[in-house]
Amino acid sequence: MKVDILIIGAGPAGMAAALAAAPSGARIALLDDNPAVGGQIWRDGPQAHLPPQVHEQRRRLAAQSTIQLLTASRVIAQAGPKQLLVEDAACARVIEYDKLILCTGARELLLPFPGWTLPGVTGAGGLQALIKGGLPVAGERLVIAGSGPLLLASAATAQANGARVLQIAEQASWAAVAGFAAQLPRWPHKLLQALGLWHPGYRASSHVIAALGDSHLQAVRLSINGQVKEVPCERLACGFGLIANTQLGQALGCRIEHNSIAVDNWQASSQVDIYAAGECTGFGGSEKALVEGAIAGHAAVGDLAAARHLWPQRQRWQGFARALQHSFALGEPVKQLATPDTLICRCEDIALADLREHGGWTPAKLASRCGMGACQGRICGAATQVLFGWQPPAPRPPFSPARIDTLLQLGQPE
């Protein structure tokens, strides 16, 4: 398959990039591993309530004859210069492109603590995804802990589906939260959003200590303003912010700065003809992702005037991103939640005590199998970055589990 522009990730950034590039007449492929476009923030499902903007974006994408949607598809490997091997449920194909736009988004940062592997404990964003996908939570008691506005959004989703949200524990201090709130009038839409999400159980300067239970979650031990409190509940959702999905960018040789793909004013990466936009270049919400995606799409087709016209709008939302990251930076207490016997790699049952003696990610992996399980280090790798400052190396193909017949295509001549 040959296209002019291949876009990896069909969240807000990817959708905006495709729509910005489409008027040029370029052949565009928009690829995502989800069954529908929208990314994690606009994830579809039987219990999802998507804003009208999403339906409009989808309608516009469907109306463009030059845009081909490749949903439920994953990138497996680099097949050659400007070629990626892609697999879906039915087949595999090599896609050759002239320009590549990475909109690979971000994933939740999960920090280990005692009991975090108990059934009933999920990520805050993970709980949202499960509920949108049809998970029944009506009548269940829920505690949410971690850091950032996602906690309030997750609570709102759970409450709308009948859950009883008992407590929201935000690790940032009250001063940091108040400082962030004082800046919100600069972005009126965000101010209204925050007011609509406010919950009486919200407590800053608070964090999870442990999840309690035998075969499943029964209670949560929290530190609330320095006071220890145990809350009986059926579910605990913890999220400590986001971490950019940079693996594909790393594998293609893109420069990584501050754990994100480094880009210039045109959203161009350090690699020729590879652009990046959205959360993989630094998280800051759907508004930032939309404008960055549009700039990347315009720049990829050479419409630099249209791209430059969007710079002030991008600067505005990058200001929001900086305020967000500064206010909800992780404090030391949540980096020290794990005890020596707390599992860090839950796929391979590797505890904190088994990792401390190693000086980096690669020695720990070789000695203990940490990161060699089903998630391929996506969870424990991010955790060890926070806990020990370890930097995982660039991933090697295959980037995702793949069928044998898919991998055989790598050895076939053109």
- Domain residues for the domain of 116 are 110-240
Q: Looking at the structure, do residues 24 and 85 belong to the same domain, yes or no?
A: yes
If asked whether residues 298 and 353 sit together in one domain, one would say no
- Whether 94 and 143 map to the same domain: the answer is no
- End of a domain among 324, 346, 361? 324
pLDDT tier for residue 391 given thresholds of 50, 70 and 90: confident
Looking at residue 70, its pLDDT comes to: 96
Beta-strand relationship, 28-31 and 2-8: parallel
Q: How confident is the model at residue 15 (pLDDT cuts 50, 70, 90)?
A: very high
Burial of 65 (0-12, 13-18, 19+ CB in 10 A): exposed
Asked, for residue 52, whether it belongs to a domain, the answer is yes
Looking at the chain, the whole-number percentage of residues with pLDDT higher than 70 is: 99
Which pLDDT tens digit goes with each residue over 44-54? 778 877 888 88
- With contact defined as beta carbons under 8 Å apart, do 151 and 249 qualify? no
**Mean pLDDT score of the chain, rounded to an integer?**
94
The per-residue DSSP string of 300-317 comes to HTT-HHHHHHTHHHHHHH
CA atoms within 13 Å, Cβ hemisphere of 203: 20
Per-residue pLDDT at 396: 87
In a domain, 395, yes or no: no
Residues 265, 272 contacting (CB under 8 angstroms)? no
User: Does residue 413 belong to any structural domain of this protein?
Assistant: no
d(CA 388, CA 356): 8
Question: Does some domain include residue 407?
Answer: no
Is the same domain home to 99 and 128?
A: no
Class of residue 385 by CB neighbours under 10 A (exposed 0-12, middle 13-18, buried 19+): middle
Quote the CA–CA distance of 264 and 304 in Å, as a whole number: 13
Is 293 contained in some domain? yes
End position of a domain, from candidates 324, 358, 374: 324
| Mean pLDDT across 297-318 | 98
pLDDT at 413: 58
Task: Looking at the structure, tell me whether residues 212 and 179 fall in a common domain.
Answer: yes
Query: Domain for residue 411, yes or no?
Result: no
Query: Residue 128 pLDDT > 90, yes or no?
Result: yes
Answer yes or no: do 172 and 231 share one domain.
yes
Mean pLDDT of 309-334: 96
One domain for residues 233 and 289? no
Its pTM stands at: 0.94
Q: Do residues 33 and 53 both lie within one domain?
A: yes
Both 34 and 115 in a single domain?
A: no
Does the structure show a pLDDT above 80 at 292? yes
Domain co-membership, 250 together with 288: yes
- Does the pLDDT value for residue 84 go beyond 80? yes
Distance CA 157, CA 133 (A): 12
Binned at pLDDT 50, 70 and 90, residue 392 comes out as: confident
Does residue 154 share a domain with residue 174?
yes
First to last CA, the chain: 12
Q: Where is the domain boundary, 240, 256, 277? A: 240
In this structure, is residue 333 part of a structural domain?
no
Q: pLDDT class for 412, splitting at 50, 70, 90? A: low
pLDDT of residue 279: 96
Q: What pLDDT does 93 receive?
A: 94
Please work out, in degrees rounded to the nearest 5, the angle formed at the alpha carbon of residue 348 by the alpha carbons of 390 and 211. Answer: 85
The CATH number for 93's domain is 3.50.50.60
Same domain, 100 and 14: yes
* pLDDT attached to residue 1: 94
Res. 112: pLDDT tops 90: yes
Mean predicted confidence (pLDDT) in 33-43:
88
Each residue of 164-219: pLDDT tens digit?
999 999 999 999 999 999 999 999 999 998 999 999 999 999 999 999 999 999 99
Asked if pLDDT for residue 414 goes beyond 60, the answer is: no
Instruction: Mean pLDDT check: name the lowest of 46-60, 64-78, 253-267, 326-340.
Output: 46-60
pLDDT in tens, 358-378: 989 999 999 999 998 888 888
**Which range has the worst mean pLDDT, 99-103, 284-288, 339-343, 391-395?**
391-395
The answer on pLDDT for 410 being more than 90 is no
Q: Report how many domains make up the chain.
A: 3
Does 150 have pLDDT greater than 80?
A: yes
Of 211-220, 264-273, 395-404, least confident by mean pLDDT is 395-404
Cβ-count burial 150-168 (b if 16+ within 10 Å, e if not): bbbbbbbbbeebebbbebb
| Residue 29 covered by a domain | yes
